[in-house]
Chains A and B, each alone.
Chain A
Amino acid sequence: KAGVTQTPRYLIKTRGQQVTLSCSPISGHRSVSWYQQTPGQGLQFLFEYFSETQRNKGNFPGRFSGRQFSNSRSEMNVSTLELGDSALYLCASSLLAGATETQYFGPGTRLLVL
């Protein structure tokens, strides 16, 4: 079974631009969660989607948004990029929703904002 895939793996943007990251979950998994990892803050929860609905949201500004498609693939979008948005963005999928479900992580997309 293929694992969680994320595209692109690396991305360089400039301040003020917007970016869209993509995540394909493990086949059959219906829940997708997104996390931001930075050296200073560690892994921080962004949001969780289940059956195309946002089920949970972390403490991030409205510039961070996401969506999930009917095939469970998910995208996250960051608008008006700031230097502090430079981070590794991780996507994780699980069969069902909820924190007690085992989450399988993708390799991440490393975003650099200049």
Chain B
Amino acid sequence: DQQVKQNSPSLSVQEGRISILNCDYTNSMFDYFLWYKKYPAEGPTFLISISSIKDKNEDGRFTVFLNKSAKHLSLHIVPSQPGDSAVYFCAASGRSEKLVFGKGTKLTVNP
């Protein structure tokens, strides 16, 4: 039973445009959500997080939106740059404090 789902295995966008990566979760007890970015041959790198008491968190070009009623979060990257090409993982945690990851979405930003 996959509690965190990233339904798009891949996404391709043009440089300068917006990238929107989506994530759905099933466990209503999750109260903290994160996005990680992973380049090949490297470990994941923390990007941005959001607590369930908020519906938006922004950090530079990255914004995460949380829709609790829909159990959905999204990561917006504006403007997208070729260096953003990587695999993006959505993760969630709740009272157990275990991080549950999605399977990732591979983003390709074309120059």
* Chain A residues packing against B (C-beta within 8 Å): 4, 33, 35, 41-45, 48, 56, 58, 90, 92, 97-100, 102-108
Report yes or no: B44 in contact with A105, Cβ–Cβ below 8 A. yes
Interface string of B26-49 (1 = CB under 8 A from A): 000000100010000111111001
Known A-B contacts A42-B89, A42-B102, A42-B104; the reply to A103 vs B97 at CB < 8 A is: no
- Give every chain A residue within 8 A of B45 (Cβ-Cβ): 105
Other-chain residue from B41, B43, B49 in contact with A4 (beta carbon distance below 8 A): B43
CB distance from B5 to the nearest CB of A (A): 10
Residue among A35, A98, A105, A107 with most chain B CB within 10 A: A105
With A and B bound together, what is the CA distance between A65 and B108 in angstroms?
Answer: 37
| Residue in B closest to A88 when the chains form the complex, CB atoms | B43
